[in-house]
């Protein structure tokens, strides 16, 4: 199974012969990955992109944090994480409204409760990467948490770690 297949991309989106050897090497390494792990990482990265794109803009700092999360939780090299995040960002921009719920549902089915909580931490980390968790990003995180079956108290506990970044609280001062 190719990396492009498990991310839901068509063959036309695959690298052409003009692509660099570096991209081909990364793609071969990801093709060799266990398909279940590949699906997990594809869903993880897509959901991160979902939050980053909630305000219709994915900043460089959000992208860098997404890459860091994929390296940390996925055990990928930095080069592989860059590729996965880039593909996830593109898919989120193109098909986010259509695929958001489905991808989150798949992630819930394949992830254990601890992994779902890890994702929630990562979502807040990505949304706060530009030093502010916007109201629209926070609402999207709550939707995802609900879709993942995370309790309100778990959500509030994790959100409290980011209270100084929350735009809604900054406006009260």
The backbone torsions φ and ψ at residue 75, rounded to the nearest 5 degrees and listed phi first, read 65, 25
Write down the pLDDT at residue 24: 66
CA 16 remoteness from chain centre = 26
Q: Are 100 and 129 in contact (CB under 8 A)?
A: no
Write down the pLDDT at residue 74: 84
Write down the pLDDT at residue 120: 96
Q: What domains sit in the chain, N to C, each tagged with a CATH number? A: 3-170 (1.10.3680.10)
pLDDT at residue 145 is higher than 60: yes
Q: Are 65 and 144 in contact (CB under 8 A)?
A: no
The backbone torsions φ and ψ at residue 133, rounded to the nearest 5 degrees and listed phi first, read -100, 105
CB atoms inside a 10 Å sphere around CB 159: 18
CB atoms inside a 10 Å sphere around CB 115: 16
Model pTM score: 0.81
Q: Are 62 and 129 in contact (CB under 8 A)?
A: yes
Encode pLDDT of 17-33 as tens digits: 444 566 566 566 677 77
């Amino acid at each position: 199974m190719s990396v492009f297949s498990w991310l839901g991309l068509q063959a036309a989106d695959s690298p052409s012969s003009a692509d660099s050897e570096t991209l081909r090497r990364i793609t071969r390494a990801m093709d060799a990955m266990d398909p279940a792990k590949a699906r997990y990482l594809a869903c993880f990265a897509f959901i991160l992109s979902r939050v980053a794109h909630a305000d219709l803009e994915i900043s460089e700092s959000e992208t860098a944090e997404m890459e860091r999360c994929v390296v940390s939780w996925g055990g990928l090299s930095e080069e592989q994480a860059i590729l996965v995040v880039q593909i996830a960002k593109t898919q989120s921009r193109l098909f986010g409204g259509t695929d958001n719920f489905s991808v989150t549902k798949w992630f819930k089915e394949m992830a254990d409760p601890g992994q779902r909580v890890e994702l929630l931490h990562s979502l807040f980390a990505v949304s706060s990467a530009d030093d502010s968790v916007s109201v629209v990003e926070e609402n999207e995180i709550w939707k995802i948490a609900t879709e993942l079956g995370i309790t309100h108290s778990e959500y509030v506990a994790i959100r409290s770690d980011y209270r100084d970044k929350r735009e809604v609280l900054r406006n009260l001062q």
